[in-house]
């Protein structure tokens, strides 16, 4: 894995008056219930993880699971109660106000669930806002904002006010604004949750297209498991402030760590998530048939071809070396069988 951009070491966020003191006394064993009895609410409980450069980490959880709080700790919109957060090796909690503002002006961009556009500014003014805050002159900032308008496909609407735009269009403005300063780190807090399903799908595709082009380091918050599977390099599933499991989509679907995670994976169409490598048998490489498939193919795309075979199908890597094999019956197992017994 390449260099680490975001690093969290047992981050806690506890709301309440004596939160800090209580956390110190608990020696890192935070139990939500005992804390609640004493009037404190646990938002984030012992979160440790790393996000690498160019990686997209999706944090998934239901409402109240602490996912937004975690994001706000890392963007330091709220101060974490305990633990350490490093952004490109810099200790975030040690930064003074001025350094923090510098960091946000140059390194971070954030997109919000309810768009959070400034109602008194037009599309282009909204997008130019972070630049103008930085001190860029009007002409340069407006020119740069116009580039962003084109990037998110809002040309011709640059002089509209947010209230004159649809939800999807407003979020395009939000995305453009967060990208205007060319940040390295991109935070997205349920950006598509307030949108209609059709628009949401469109925006997700658009988002993937953008990410392919920009290769940002991303933390993406969602409550939609399907969205997480579709977008994520890795998924962190949160419940009651605790990260239940953090892994690639395929591994989560194949090996849910807890009962809670398994419930989410039950309804997931595996053939759309898993790749051949996840289900192949790496030990047997003999008696192969004629058909060979790449280990990186998603099962859905090759299932039909494999199912027509009677012999074992060879699995190859990118250099065309055989790395394993797969039985046609294994495909049927994966798609239909495995669901009931949860393996």
Q: Binding residues for other proteins, per CB under 8 A?
A: 72, 75, 77, 101-102, 104-106, 108-110, 112-122, 124-125, 129-130, 133-134, 138, 142, 158-159, 177-178, 181, 187
Least distance from other proteins to the Cβ atom of residue 85, Å: 16
Edge-to-edge strand ranges of the sheet holding 288-294: 288-294, 312-316, 322-326
Least distance from other proteins to the Cβ atom of residue 114, Å: 5
Return the biggest CA–CA distance within the chain. 70
Least distance from other proteins to the Cβ atom of residue 310, Å: 58
Question: Measured in whole angstroms, how far is the alpha carbon of residue 107 from the centre of its chain?
Answer: 18
Query: b/e map of 25-58 (b: 16 or more CB within 10 Å)?
Result: eeeeebebeebeeeebbbbbbbbebbbbbbbbbb
Question: Measured in whole angstroms, how far is the alpha carbon of residue 207 from the centre of its chain?
Answer: 12
C-beta of 101 vs 208, nearer to other proteins: 101
Least distance from other proteins to the Cβ atom of residue 63, Å: 15
C-beta of 125 vs 278, nearer to other proteins: 125
Least distance from other proteins to the Cβ atom of residue 154, Å: 14
Least distance from other proteins to the Cβ atom of residue 122, Å: 7
CA-based nearest residue to 51, from 79, 71, 29 = 71
d(CA 301, CA 259): 30
Least distance from other proteins to the Cβ atom of residue 143, Å: 9
d(CA 204, CA 188): 12
Least distance from other proteins to the Cβ atom of residue 40, Å: 21
- DSSP of 14-62, one letter per residue? EESTTHHHHHHHHTT---HHHHHHTT-EEEEEEEEEEEETT-EEEEE--
C-beta of 33 vs 98, nearer to other proteins: 98
Edge-to-edge strand ranges of the sheet holding 217-222: 108-111, 185-189, 217-222, 56-60, 234-239, 242-247
Determine contact, residues 239/64, Cβ cutoff 8 Å: no
C-beta of 3 vs 140, nearer to other proteins: 140
Q: Is the C-alpha dihedral spanning 81, 85, 87, 91 positive or negative?
A: positive
C-beta of 53 vs 134, nearer to other proteins: 134
CA-based nearest residue to 203, from 184, 176, 233 = 176
d(CA 262, CA 260): 5
C-beta of 117 vs 303, nearer to other proteins: 117
Least distance from other proteins to the Cβ atom of residue 47, Å: 20
C-beta of 22 vs 176, nearer to other proteins: 176
Beta-ladder partners of 221: 59, 189
Beta strand 82-87 with 90-91 is: antiparallel
C-beta of 111 vs 254, nearer to other proteins: 111
C-beta of 134 vs 285, nearer to other proteins: 134
């Amino acid at each position: 894995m390449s260099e680490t951009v975001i690093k969290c070491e047992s981050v806690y966020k506890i709301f309440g008056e004596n939160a800090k003191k209580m956390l110190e006394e608990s020696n890192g064993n935070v139990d939500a219930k005992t804390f609640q009895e004493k009037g404190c609410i646990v938002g984030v409980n012992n979160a440790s993880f790393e996000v690498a450069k160019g990686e997209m980490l999706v944090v998934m959880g239901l409402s109240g699971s602490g996912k937004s709080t975690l994001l706000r700790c890392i963007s330091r919109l709220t101060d974490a109660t305990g633990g350490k957060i490093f952004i490109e090796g810099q200790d975030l909690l040690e930064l003074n106000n001025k350094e923090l503002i510098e960091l946000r002006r140059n390194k971070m961009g954030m997109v919000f669930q309810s768009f959070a556009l400034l109602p008194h500014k037009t599309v282009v003014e909204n997008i130019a806002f972070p630049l103008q805050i930085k001190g860029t002159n009007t002409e340069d900032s407006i020119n740069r904002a116009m580039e962003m308008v084109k990037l998110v496909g809002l040309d011709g609407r640059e002089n509209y006010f947010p209230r004159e735009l649809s939800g999807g269009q407003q979020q395009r403005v939000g995305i453009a604004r967060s990208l205007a300063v060319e940040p390295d780190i991109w935070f997205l807090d349920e950006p598509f949750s307030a949108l209609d399903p059709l628009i949401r799908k469109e925006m997700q595709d658009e988002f993937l297209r953008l990410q392919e082009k920009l290769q940002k380091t991303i933390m993406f918050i969602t409550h939609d498991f399907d969205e997480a599977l579709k977008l994520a390099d890795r998924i962190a599933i949160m419940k009651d402030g605790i990260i239940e499991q953090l892994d690639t989509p395929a591994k989560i679907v194949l090996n849910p760590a807890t009962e809670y995670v398994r419930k989410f994976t039950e309804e997931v169409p595996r053939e759309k998530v898993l790749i051949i490598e996840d289900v192949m048998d790496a030990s047997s490489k003999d008696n192969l048939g004629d058909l060979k498939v790449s280990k990186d193919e998603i099962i859905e795309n090759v299932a039909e071809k494999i199912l027509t075979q009677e012999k074992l199908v060879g699995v190859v890597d990118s250099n065309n070396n055989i790395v394993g094999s797969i039985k046609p019956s294994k495909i049927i197992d994966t798609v239909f069988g495995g669901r009931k017994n949860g393996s």
